[in-house]
Structure formats: C-alpha cells, structure tokens
Amino acid sequence: MKKIQWKFILAGLLLILPLAGCVTDVPAPSSSSAGTANSQQSRLDTVLKRGKLICGVSGELPGFSFVEPDGKYSGLDVDVCRSIAAALFDNPDAVEFRKLSAKQRFPAVQSGEVDILSRNTTFTVQRNTELNLDFAPVIFYDGQGLMVRKDSTLNTLASLKNRSICVQSGTTTEQNLADQMRQRNIPYTSVVFDDVNITFGAYTEGRCDAITADRSALVSRRSSFQKPDDHIVLPDLLSKEPLAPAVSSGDPRWSNVVKWTIYTLINAEELNIDSKNVTQFATSNDPVVKRFLGGEGNFGKKMGIPNDFAARIIKHVGNYGEVYDRNLGKQTKLKLDRGLNNLWNKGGILYSPPFR
C-alpha cells in the first residue's frame, strides 16, 4: 500500500519537473529581442521570415475594426496593419488578425503574441513607460464622451447625478469617468462589464441611464443599434484620447517601420498622392515625390524593407484621407467629421515629418 503511494507521488513529480525545466531552457525568441536594443534580432525579421503580420484588433467596432459578413476585416485600425503588410510583402492581405478585448490587449503585445496592437488604444504615459509599449503616431484624435437616450431629460454630465453609467473595464474610460465625477463632486453608480457587447447590451436594455466610451466608439457602436436615432452623444468631453498603434518597446527597427508606415499615409495626403494617381506620380520629376516613393535615395533599404514601401502602401491601401473616408467618412454609417483628424493645413493637427 505504502509503496504504491510513493510510486505515484514520485511519478507525478517527475512529470512536473521536465515541464518546469523546459520553460526556462527555451528562451522565448520574441521576449529576448524585446529586451535587447540591438539590431540583429528584431521583430521585423520575425515578421519578414513568417511572411505575414500578426495584428491585434478589437473586431467589435465598425469603422475601426470589424468583421464584415464575408469574414473580412475592415476599418481604420485594420488598414494600418494592411499598410504594413503592403509595405513588407506588397500584399495588403498578408495579415492575420487576432481579436483582443480591452484587458487582453497589453499582455498580447508584451508577450509577443501579436506583432502590433492596432486597437483604438489611447497613448498614455503609463502604458508607454510602465507597460513598456512604444506608440506609433496617433491615427485618430478622439475624446471620451457619453451617450444617453434621446427621450431622457439628461443633457449634461451634471444631470447624471445619482444615475447609473455603463462602462467597459480595462480601459482609460473607466478611470476618466471616476476622475471627472470626483472633480465635479457628482455621485453616480458605475456598472462595469468586461465585454464590450454586454456593456452596450446592458445600456440598450435600459440598465444604465448613460454609457461612456471614446466618442468614436459610441458613434461606431450606435451605428449598429436597431434604432440609432434614439440615442445621442452629449457635447461634454471627458478627456483626450489620442488613439495610436503600439508595439513592444526596445525594438527600434520594428517601431520605426510602423511609425513611418503611418507617416506615409499622412504624407501621401499632404502631397495629394492617392491610390489612383500613385502610378503617375511614380514618374514625377519632383525630388520630394521621388524620394518619398523610393525612386531616389534608399530610406526603405536602410530600414530593412523594400525601398518603394510608400508606393506600395498608397497603391494598395491609399492615403490617410482615403482610408478615413472609406471607414469613417460621410458615405459611411458613422459620418464622423474629420475635425482634428484633418491635415495641419486644413484645420486639423495631422502632420508628417519630412521624408528626407
């Protein structure tokens, strides 16, 4: 009897032991590259070798990232990843999308499960420095807002005194709301869910008098309500929410590729180059255009990617204006004004550093 027990215990331990050992023995290739800032081992090489990009998105926000009925992803966040794939592989479809909830997203980039997080994520100092993420340039300047039912008497933040507000956890939203209400001394009840569909479901079922999220997210989700017109987004702005893609920090080669992909989108609009006329521009004599499209100089090569990456991006995905109009503009259900997200010389604050 006793002997048998011993054997079982020993066998069990011997089973666990190699398991414990092998985790340490095999260094995760991704994490070691993230830790060292040298150029031989970059996520860029991993992606190039793999032949496709792994991109973390929400998948629940029409206009930003959403799965269409035909199974294809679409949206602004999605097009950022498609642009990178176009630059690297001349193929905007060489992307594998991973759906990530608000709380899953950071561990997913940190552990290297995704190459890039392109998921309506606010650029904050804490995420940058404590979570060790490198943010690419902002692709959408947003702010937090509140949505209420039109037939309610609620019209300002102050009118929400003692009312309940639905909010998704794992977001900047949760904290901003508490900050703003505390500062204004307005007592309220928060109802917190971890799933975006449940959060909005509870609001539409009438559990909460209001729901708070990034304004773009409110408009986006409202567009898929049964009766979108019954809900209004209040004018109050609770915070600044600059949304930007992020990669794991400590890998300058990779973060540079992401960074200049986004500047390519903006610069193309500044130069009036779009997906239709890019082939004509390819033969332009303007040195600025030539350098940008890779006809002259070797920016791309030095970054370790094809020299004509900008031309590829514009050809396959378009410039920032095209991407915006296609996903969020007037012809879409969202009808978001460009506002701050216009070029610096058209009333917005988008600005690309020079390609020189």
Partner 1 sequence: MPKFWRIALQGLLLVLVVGTIALLWHNLTANLQQQSSQTTRLGFDFLREEAKFNIGEAAIPYQPSDSYGRAILVGLLNSLKVIAVGIVLATTLGVTAGIARLSNNWLLQKIALFYVEVLRNIPLLLQLFFWYFAFFLSFPKVEQRLQLPGAIYLTKSGIWLPWLQATSATGTWLICWIIGGVGAGFILYRQRQTLRPWTVLQAGAAIVALSLLALLITHGLPLQFDVPQVIDNFQIQGGLKLSPEFAAITTGLSVYTGTFIAEVVRSGIQAVPRGQWEAAQSLGLSPNVVMGTVIFPQALRTILPPLSNQYLNLAKNSSLAVAVGYPDVYSISDSMNSQTGRPVEAMLVIIVTYLTISLTLSVLINLYNRSVQIVER
Binding site for ligand GSH (CB under 6 A): 58, 60-61, 101-102, 120-122, 168, 171-173, 196, 213-214, 217, 241, 243
Ranges within 36-95 binding partner 1 (CB under 8 A): none
Is 134:246 a contact under the CB 8 Å cutoff?
yes
Q: Which of 68, 93, 179, 296 binds partner 1 (CB under 8 A)?
A: 179
Q: Which of 4, 24, 70, 226 binds partner 1 (CB under 8 A)?
A: 24
Using rule CB under 8 A, residue 156 touches partner 1: no
Closest CA to 51 of 89, 5, 98: 89
String of DSSP letters for 71-85: S-EESHHHHHHHHHH
> In angstroms, what is the minimal distance from the CB of 157 to partner 1?
14
Question: 225-254 mask for partner 1 (x: CB under 8 A)?
Answer: -------------------------x----
The sign of the dihedral angle between the CA atoms of 158, 163, 168, 169 is positive
Contact partner at residue 178 from ligand GSH, partner 1, none, CB < 5 to 8 Å by partner kind: partner 1
The sign of the dihedral angle between the CA atoms of 31, 32, 35, 39 is negative
Q: Which of 103, 227, 333, 346 binds partner 1 (CB under 8 A)?
A: 103
Q: Which stretch binds partner 1 (CB under 8 A): 38-46, 205-213, 237-245, 275-283?
A: 205-213
Is 256:305 a contact under the CB 8 Å cutoff?
no
Using rule CB under 8 A, residue 111 touches partner 1: yes
Dihedrals phi, psi of 355, to nearest 5 degrees: -90, 85
Report the Cα 72 to chain-centroid distance in Å: 17
Using rule CB under 8 A, residue 160 touches partner 1: no
Using rule CB under 8 A, residue 23 touches partner 1: yes
Strand partners, 248: 133
Q: Which of 207, 240, 290, 291 binds partner 1 (CB under 8 A)?
A: 207
Which positions ≥6 away from 247 have C-beta within 8 Å? 43, 109, 115, 116, 117, 133, 134, 136, 254, 255, 258
String of DSSP letters for 245-287: -EEESS-HHHHHHHHHHHHHHHHHHHTT--TTTHHHHTT---H
Q: Which of 164, 284, 307, 332 binds partner 1 (CB under 8 A)?
A: 164
Contact partner at residue 319 from ligand GSH, partner 1, none, CB < 5 to 8 Å by partner kind: none
Angle at 268 between CA 267 and CA 271, to 5 degrees: 85
Q: Determine the 3-state secondary structure of 166 from DSSP.
A: strand
Using rule CB under 8 A, residue 197 touches partner 1: no
Question: Could you list the residues that contact partner 1 (CB under 8 A)?
Answer: 2-3, 6, 9-10, 13, 16-17, 20-21, 23-24, 27-28, 31-32, 34-35, 102-103, 106-107, 110-111, 126-127, 129-132, 162-164, 166, 169-171, 174-175, 177-179, 181-182, 188-195, 198, 201-202, 205-207, 250
